[in-house]
Chain A
Amino acid sequence: MESEPKGTQDQVHRSLADSIREGFEGNTFGDVMVVGGGISGVQASLDLAASGFKVYLVDKAPAIGGHMAQLDKTFPTNDCSI
């Protein structure tokens, strides 16, 4: 079997990568889904949005906040945790 010239193979690779990238262009693969809207999920969503990403924040409860919202106050300043 005749082996293809190297250049062609490179082109094949490049066009494959390009086509994947092009496929992403009109799409939303730059987005991030955050599962859970407790303190960790909320902080993550804020960081991601502030650094230029679109975020889908998903939570099973009807409001975000998680368990931290249930806490009365928090260590060490005894600030309200909301």
Chain B
Amino acid sequence: MTLVRKPRYILEDQCTGCTTCVEYCPVVYPDPFNQEISTNKAIHIYFAQAVPLITYIDESCLYLKEKKCGICEDVCENDAIDFNQTAEEVEVKVGAILLAPGFEPFDPKAGNHYGYGEMQNVVTSLDYERLMCATGPYEGEIRRASDKKHPQKIAWIQCVGSRQVNPPGGNSYCSAVCCTYTQKQVILTKDHNPDAECTVFHNDIRSHGKDFERFYQRAEELPGIRFIRSYVSIGKEIPESKNVTIRYATPDEGVKEEEFEMVVLSIGLNPPADAVRLAEELGIELNPHGFCEVNPKNPMETTKPGIFVSGAFQGPIDIPESVFSASGACSQCGELLDYRRGKLSRERIYPPERDVSGEEPRIGIFVCHCGANIGRIVDVPSVVEYAKTLPHVVYAQEQLFSCATNCAKEITDMTKEMGLNRVIIAACSPRTLGPLFQDTVREAGLNQYYLEMTNIREHCSWVHTMEKEDATEKARDLIRMSVARAAHLEPLQEIDLSVNPAALVVGAGVAGMTCALSIANQGHEVHLVERDHDLGGKARSIYQTLEGLDVQAYLRDLVHKVYQNPLIHVYTDATITDADGYVGNFATRVVSERGTTEIRHGATVLAVGADVYEPSEYLYGEDDRVMTLLQLEEQINRGSEKVTDAQGLVMIQCVGCRNEERNYCSRICCSESVKNALALKKINPEMDIYILYRDMRTYGFDEDYYREAADNGVKFIRYEPQDEPVVEAGESEEGRPVLKITTPDYILGKKVEIDADIVALAAALIPSAGSREVSQLFRVPLNPDGFFQEAHVKLRPVEFATDGVYLCGLAHYPKLLRETIEQAYGAASRVLTLLSHDAITASGSICEVDENVCIGCGQCVSTCAYGAVELHKTRQGKKAIVNPVLCKGDGLCTTKCPTRAIQLKHFTDDEIWAQIDAAVETAQIPSKI
């Protein structure tokens, strides 16, 4: 592949991001990162937390245009400006390509949607994100363009550029993310200004994601919030106030026109701007919407082998799906290139560690400017001078960017030269750069736990921008406290744990089997455990997907591959009786048709699936003409005449969920109903099909099928939970025995009565019966709805907080087959990031019990969320003992211990007390507190 590296006109190794050049640059230019609401300079850093955090020069530069100016070259102290840079061709040879070019926000200017670009106070939702953001155009204050005032009365218009066929210019599909991001914006707006009045004009509310339904309720229940179901148009801009009017209609009040101070357009997701060029260059195909054409059996596969796709280029998807489709694509790259794994990486070798235990503390302090981040607020040179006066401090200096490679080397060199045995870096949070600086001190031959970081950025300069003197004083205090702590620091050893290369996958539905195959195809043994006698899970009762995939054929092929793979061991009729161990070294006891087996494995994947709710509503179980959607699908595929010859068929959505007992949406039922309606219309076009729904949630490209169903004469009637349909046995006018369904029709404004031969219920997906037991065995949490709770909803969607335990499929939340497949590959990739290493390193900062002081009360045992503390019998009675591998070093147990027998290493009482004592000089403490 030939890549073109665009010139940055900056020498990346020399730029420190100090932003002096930005100050002097005379060119003021709309800032694309802030949606052109605010301005920036021709030379600037892309955004405050950019990686890399260095400047670049854009095309607005005077020198680049007319060879004028060049001020930045003169003011740069590091000679980092290089106007002679040209576009550079780089050739790379790769074994696989992963496309993740994302999406392009819909541009409402193009079709003149809702006055955007003409009326100043009409903004897009992305504009609004920047307006709310602390690094945005008004530093986190929501102001409107016309008069820079804070708007009080704000309206959101949903589906801008989405779900739109007429007039042309929009996209027919649903962008899937706008409903929830609007609710988020409403909640945040109320945080900014509790008096704000927010109105959301919407079509269906699509809260189909995990926890989305509760989030919607949270937004809806806030005071001053209105959700109005109505199509709208922009009325006019009021000349004096620049307010904007919106025309809408409600069933009760008819057409109304209302004035708003600001209007936010909830814009959808378009394909990436250069999708066509990218597709041509790489020889892949695009779908009719201009997104990547993918394999329906594997949405991460493009039409060209070796080229994979993840994220929003697959179609409009949310962040968690972007994350697990990325991991999923990686697992497939791994299957392809397994033979090259690890051949290109290099091992790091550190110098031997110096024993400093007999020495007096010799502390060195490095105070970082962090470009202007700290230096502009805190008087760094005076802090350095002060630091030199503190006890045990033998060296102090300032640095522009301690994390820059040259500065890190300086720290290593000075540590060696001055014989330092404690290093303090006063800079940012240890959460971000702690590991890097631990490395730096190791390079100097010191144990990495002799590093102490003082956070004078997040805890000081960033929060005291207006109080420079006080901030400097605080920086001094924080450093004095760090010095006191550093003197007490002790060297700690990290443990290397061997990793068992095998994996255990619990549940052999599509999720479990797909995950197992991908792991096995990368050379690892997999134990696949299934409760049932047969493999396949819920997919066994699905015949087709909405896109037309033959699910049974797909499943047969999958099961065949699983049994064919010599690295996969299948256990059916299995029960897990015991699960023990920790990341890299689990032991699980399984009773199956093979007898009792103790499986040793390094990673665990939970793919236990879900169950279908058995309805108690709508005569289900009493009248055999009432069935679930799955039963309907089975009868359609069997060619049951009872179903195919029906004159009238009614489907009722949201049966058993979106209610008090199960406050979530089952996500897939709307698409499933549309699928079955289309199938029935194909067999019997005369059939009267009604779908009674609350919100149709055919998100993404499935919207096209919803429209197709409506075009084919399927009737959609909305109902509300307080006025549910009623199903009764009765007779039609001709005397035919039918089911009579009475439901409100809000468009007609009255109740309608429908005769049906069949009623199909969209029964909820509910957590699998065994999930609670599994969650207890593997010590992983469930969410309030009973589905498994991942480590982080957005960023760690396929793993648990417990190391080495992963999750995929319906066990996580209801999802479509293609999403299950993606998530299964995603979990496989995360498993591989663990299993492809021979060993993992456990932190040295863990808890330790002094048995002489421990009274065996067990408070620490019940406090520990990781099961890391146990009581064991000794001659002196019961004593607590910490498993160093399970301990995460959160220190909760130390707060419970009545005798201070349990201590968290690196944060011992002595260290913390020393730090606190140094906070205020004794003389300043009032005698009474």
Contacts and interface: CB of A to CB of B under 8 A. Distances in A.
Interface of A: 24, 27-41, 43-44, 47-48, 50-54, 56, 58, 60-79, 82
A47 B327 contact: yes
19 contacts: A30-B339, A34-B97, A36-B313, A38-B322, A40-B100, A41-B326, A43-B326, A47-B327, A47-B330, A48-B330, A51-B334, A56-B3, A69-B47, A70-B35, A71-B129, A71-B133, A72-B188, A77-B793, A78-B187
Given A31-B93, A61-B46, A75 B180 contact: yes
B47 A28 contact: no
B7 to A, nearest CB: 11
Given A51-B836, A52-B342, A67-B105, A33 B100 contact: no
Interface residues of B, number: 75
B344 interface: yes
A53 B47 CA distance: 29
Given A30-B337, A56-B94, A65 B51 contact: yes
Nearest to A73: B188
Contacts of A63: 45-47, 50-52
Contact of A44 (B95, B183, B327): B327
Contacts of B45: 63
B49 A82 contact: yes
B341 A53 contact: yes
A27 to B, nearest CB: 6
A40 B312 contact: yes
B913 to A, nearest CB: 33
A21 to B, nearest CB: 8
A40 B323 contact: yes
A69 B211 CA distance: 23
A16 to B, nearest CB: 16
A24 to B, nearest CB: 7
A73 B519 CA distance: 35
Nearest to B102: A38
Given A41-B311, A75-B181, A30 B52 contact: no
A51 B341 contact: yes
A30 B311 contact: no
A72 B132 contact: yes
Contact of A31 (B95, B330, B339): B95
A35 B272 CA distance: 12
Interface string B437-457: 000000000000000000000
A5 B340 CA distance: 33
Contact of A56 (B46, B92, B312, B322): B92
B748 interface: no
B215 interface: yes
Contacts of B341: 30, 51-53
B327 A43 contact: yes
A9 to B, nearest CB: 24
A69 B103 CA distance: 14
Given A47-B327, A51-B341, A68-B319, A28 B93 contact: yes
Contacts of B278: 35
Interface string B40-70: 0000011101111000100000000000000
Contacts of A71: 129, 133
